[in-house]
């Protein structure tokens, strides 16, 4: 009954010209999804002004995932992680495999076949510089023509960035325009701040693999897919400006990873 009331409230607000925002919430150290939040738990701040949140609904839905895999000279170390993601694919979901170094290459188009996806990963050859931002820009621009469900890029990388021509802001804006969430999964390197920003501005989450060694519990791939599939939809009155100027927080838990992607 509570969920039905929330859905009816959201529908009424939409009829009045409200805005919906997709929000992902994860624990930064354990990589676990944060559940059980309500509208009153969220603070949406635009240019230092807090906006009212009228409704909140949690969903767990299928996704269409592009596995964007580092194939640079040091990229082979993340191949086992990429392989573990294939095993998490559920019925109806699809995944594609794209490799990147100084350029990007489609290895396997979207499919539900785990056998084909595993075979595609085994075909990746390694070398050259990891131009992460350039690869993301190409993937966002061209990679989801036939997507059916929520569009997600799982960026599997060592954490190093080469010499991309594209910039962070340019990539984030294109992701929001295409309604694609970016989930970086990385080993270490200098890209931590960049990965966190890209995730925060696109409704994704970033995961540093060494943190999983300390947290225990589920396997890293299972935890990450829990976060990828589960999200909150917040309904607000009116409109929002540029998402770069909007910050979403969970009250009293400022250290959580909280990201947002406009749905309207």
Q: Is the separation of the CB atoms in 94 and 110 below 8 Å?
A: yes
Tokens of 171: 């990539």
Check pLDDT > 60 for residue 7: no
Q: Report in angstroms the alpha-carbon separations of 198 from 91, 185, 249.
A: 28, 12, 16
Q: Closest by alpha carbon to 206, among 216, 198, 218? A: 198
- The model's confidence at residue 198, banded by pLDDT at 50, 70 and 90, is very high
The pLDDT of residue 255: 93
| Domains delineated in the chain | 2-57+234-262 (no CATH), 63-229 (3.40.50.410)
Compute the CA torsion angle 136, 137, 138, 139 (nearest 10 deg).
40
- The model's confidence at residue 214, banded by pLDDT at 50, 70 and 90, is low
Q: Closest by alpha carbon to 224, among 86, 96, 77? A: 86
pLDDT digits (tens, 9 = 90+) for 80-128: 999 999 999 999 999 999 999 999 999 999 999 999 999 999 999 999 9
How much is the average pLDDT of 15-34?
A: 88
Number of H helices, E strands in the chain: 8, 13
With a CB cutoff of 8 Å and minimum separation 6, the contacts of 141 are 174, 178
């Amino acid at each position: 009954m509570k969920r039905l009331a929330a859905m009816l409230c959201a529908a009424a607000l939409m009829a009045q010209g409200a805005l919906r925002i997709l929000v992902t919430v994860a624990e930064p150290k354990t990589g676990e999804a944060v559940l059980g939040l309500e509208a009153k738990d969220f603070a949406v701040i635009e240019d230092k002004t807090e906006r009212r949140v009228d409704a909140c609904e949690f969903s767990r839905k299928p996704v269409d995932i592009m596995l964007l895999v580092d194939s640079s000279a040091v990229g082979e170390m993340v191949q086992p992680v990429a392989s573990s993601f294939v095993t998490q694919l559920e019925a109806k979901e699809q995944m594609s495999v794209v490799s990147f170094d100084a350029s990007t290459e489609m290895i396997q188009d979207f499919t539900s076949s785990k056998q084909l996806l595993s075979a595609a990963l085994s075909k990746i050859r390694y070398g050259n510089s990891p131009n992460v931002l350039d690869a993301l820009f190409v993937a966002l621009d061209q990679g989801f023509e036939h997507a059916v469900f929520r569009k997600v890029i799982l960026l599997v990388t060592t954490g190093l960035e080469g010499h991309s021509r594209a910039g962070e802001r340019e990539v984030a804006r294109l992701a929001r325009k295409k309604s694609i969430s970016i989930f970086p999964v990385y080993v270490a390197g200098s890209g931590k701040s960049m990965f966190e920003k890209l995730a925060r501005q696109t409704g994704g989450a970033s995961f540093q693999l060494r943190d999983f060694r300390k947290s225990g519990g589920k396997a890293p791939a299972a935890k990450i897919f829990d976060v990828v599939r589960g999200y909150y939809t917040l309904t607000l009155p009116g409109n929002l400006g540029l998402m770069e100027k909007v910050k979403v927080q969970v009250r009293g838990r400022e250290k959580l990873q909280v990201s947002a992607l406009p749905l309207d």
